[in-house]
Amino acid sequence: MTEEFRVTWVTRSFLDYRVPVFAALDDLLGGRLSLVYSTESVPQRVREKIVSILGPRAVGLTGEWCFGPKTDTGLANSAVSIVYQPGVLKQIWRTHPDVLVGDGFFRWTFPALLTRLLKRVPLVLCYERTHRTERNCQWYRAAYRKSVLPFVDAMCCNGQETVDYVRSLGMSATKLTLKNMAADVNGLLAASGQVDESERAAIRSQYGIEGVCFLYSGQLIPRKGVAELVEAWRRHESVQASPGTLMLVGDGPEEAKLRAMVAAQGMKHVRFAGRVDYDSIYKCYRAADVFVIATLEDNWSLVVPEAMACGLPILSSQYNGCCPELIHPGRNGFIFDPLKPEFLTALFGTCCERPEDLPSMGRESQRIVSEFTPEATASEILRACVMAKMCKAA
């Protein structure tokens, strides 16, 4: 079933995981989705994917001016930047949208807001922040968000933690939908299912994995709590005769410090795998037995549903915004406080002592995440678009 109206999504940047959502939404709209984005902020491999789906309706712009850091790998609100993209308003208006979709409040959402004000086009925001990530929000950011909300006709939130935050800003509950974020659940499930036991054994041998493999995948930066993760592992390795293997996939400015920490403490069961291309990451998930993330702050860690799609139980920090929806303690994983390493150390021990429980927990992960597909996300964003049109018509 398709909707008979045009939607223009204005977003400065996106990565591979968003492409299936765009594709599903375009299908629901009967080929009426346009996308305006920055070619300087979207990797070439991702640009090629979206152009193969939307063709000329994927409009990439260049020449952005940025005052302040272009990217921010620190805690939320730790840096301030203002961007200006010449020609973005012109490109938005050329698509003749019936509904606009923007990401968050700043960056490229501002020209979408101008279009809402000047052209009276209903506006939907896709939003992901939580009370945790916004605990250090500057007063002027919060004031701006509150001033903008009257012009937001509907909003698609990540989950309940995002709902709680935007409700505190004054957003009406009647204008909200959920499931804004989704991994490529079906694609990862299919790809990981093609890795048989012999290939899995070869991957494990390649990385020197022994016993239960605990996998972390992501940036090696302070916000992700990787140092806290390694400290909990040090305690685990010091008391377990067969501790298994901790595999760290990714790179970043903390890598040298983490390697020095591992060497200084004589940890023999930590493997640094380096960066792995998105299209091959399923092989790492397939080689592992448990996924672990000790983030100190995340809106909705997409690596969690990725790992779940590949059949892994999850050990997740309580500071991860996806926990209420995706982690069901005792069923498909456990939630811990990364600032108290003894809790994660105990969970490492539990997994090593009862490895026979891990496959069934992984299957439960797949069952839970099957409700958080790109198709489900596209349906919720479309529902927000319909709500926005009705709100504006009223």
Spatial separation of the C-alpha atoms in residues 183 and 374, rounded to whole Å:
7
Partners of residue 292 on adjacent β-strands: 315
Q: What are phi and psi of 266, to 5 degrees?
A: 65, 30
Spatial separation of the C-alpha atoms in residues 215 and 315, rounded to whole Å:
10
Beta-sheet pairing, 270-274 with 176-177: unpaired
Fold: same for 7-182+373-393 and 185-369: yes
Predicted local confidence at residue 66, as pLDDT: 81
HSE of 363, CA atoms in CB hemisphere, 13 A: 4
Helices (H), the chain: 19-28, 44-54, 88-94, 109-119, 139-148, 160-169, 185-193, 197-207, 226-239, 255-264, 281-287, 303-309, 323-326, 341-353, 358-369, 374-393
Going from the first residue of the chain to its last (394 residues), give the mean pLDDT of each consecutive group of 10, the final group possibly shorter: 88 95 98 97 96 98 82 65 88 97 90 95 97 93 94 97 97 97 95 95 96 97 97 96 97 97 97 94 97 97 97 98 97 98 97 97 98 97 96 66
Reduced 3-state DSSP string for 321-338: CCHHHHCCECCCEEEECC
Beta-sheet pairing, 82-84 with 154-157: unpaired
Spatial separation of the C-alpha atoms in residues 320 and 318, rounded to whole Å:
5
Predicted local confidence at residue 61, as pLDDT: 97
Inter-axis angle of helices 255-264 and 226-239, nearest 10: 20
How close are the terminal C-alpha atoms of the chain, in Å?
A: 24
Residues near 311 by Cβ (< 8 Å), separated by ≥ 6? 192, 285, 359, 362, 363, 365, 366
Predicted local confidence at residue 343, as pLDDT: 97
Predicted local confidence at residue 84, as pLDDT: 85
Burial of 268 (0-12, 13-18, 19+ CB in 10 A): exposed
Q: What is the CA radius of gyration of the chain?
A: 22
Indicate the CATH number of 7-182+373-393 among 1.20.58.100, 3.40.50.10490, 3.40.120.10, 3.40.50.11720: 3.40.50.11720
The amino acid at residue 240 is Q
Spatial separation of the C-alpha atoms in residues 217 and 252, rounded to whole Å:
12
Nearest CA to 384 out of 114, 1, 4, 7 is that of 7
Predicted local confidence at residue 4, as pLDDT: 87
Segment (H or E) for 377:
helix 374-393
Interior angle at CA 300, CA 297 and CA 306, nearest 5: 120
Predicted local confidence at residue 74, as pLDDT: 67
In CATH terms, the fold of domain 185-369 is Rossmann fold (3.40.50)
Spatial separation of the C-alpha atoms in residues 283 and 69, rounded to whole Å:
34
Domains in the chain: boundaries: 7-182+373-393, 185-369
Interior angle at CA 387, CA 386 and CA 388, nearest 5: 90
Spatial separation of the C-alpha atoms in residues 253 and 219, rounded to whole Å:
9
pTM of the complete model: 0.93
Spatial separation of the C-alpha atoms in residues 365 and 311, rounded to whole Å:
6
Query: The tokens 């790109």 sit on which residue?
Result: 374
Helix/strand/coil for 258: helix
Spatial separation of the C-alpha atoms in residues 320 and 128, rounded to whole Å:
12
Cβ contact 34:126 at 8 Å: no
